[in-house]
Structure 1
Amino acid sequence: MLPKFRAWDTTLKIMHDVQIIDWISETVGVDAIGGVLETPLKELKLMQSTGLKGQNGIEVFDGDIVRLFNVGFIYKGVVAQNSATYWWIKGVGTSTDFTFEDVADYRNYTCELEVIGNIYENQDLLEVAK
């Protein structure tokens, strides 16, 4: 499977779908009205897809804020990648982290997580209730 990316534009404060990345010229071709806009890589935060879809049918990306419903509790975490292939979920308001091995069905490219936002557009979801 080819890696898929989206990008947070740090200048315009919007999310783009990525069409092409040119690592040599350090530019990224992002979806724009009427075509593809070439944007300097330094103005973007790239977010790679995990290749999985969550419970709500939304594709899960690095930097997404997700929720897991389990017997007796609701867990909230942020999807992160610590190597080219290892995905995990860092707990928000808890020291508990877990890997995608705990929640993913790789045969169907799905997982038990619900995508509720991302770290750039929904920072309020990272706040811990006091």
Structure 2
Amino acid sequence: MPLPNTACHLDWSSLVQATQEYKTQRMATLLSERSPISSRPDTPSHGTYQIHQSSTYCSGEDIASDVFIDFPDQLSHLEGMLSRLSSDLLKEKRDKVDLLAEVLKLRISNQHLREESLCAVAQLHKISKILNKTPGGME
């Protein structure tokens, strides 16, 4: 798969989608080389494929196993998972923005309270000096 041009600005979701499409297309090409198996007459044969695994992939076993995979169901399941994960990611991003905004508000409020506290301390010192300088003031 050729790398995208760095001059054009692509977002990650389109890159992920392009990668998924490439992988799906590649898997379809690999599976199209194999013959579809119709296990029952009432099921469509284009969705179920037989994949023969060689004994080298079976951890040393000499018996080859057949794996039946229903790709349209898996694809729709994976697409559903991808859409749920995408929506969860968007929700997490919105929550993060909301939390960052709340942190900023709290920092501004904290700074304001510090300034008020410093002003109050300065006023107390002035009042304290005034009371200590008056002849009849409390000591």
For Structure 1 versus Structure 2, the TM-score category normalised by the shorter chain is under 0.3
Which is richer in helix? 2
Q: Relative contact order: is structure 1 or structure 2 higher (C-alpha 8 Å, sep ≥ 6)?
A: 1
Which is richer in strand? 1
Q: Max radius of gyration: which structure? A: 2
Q: TM-score, normalised by structure 2?
A: 0.20
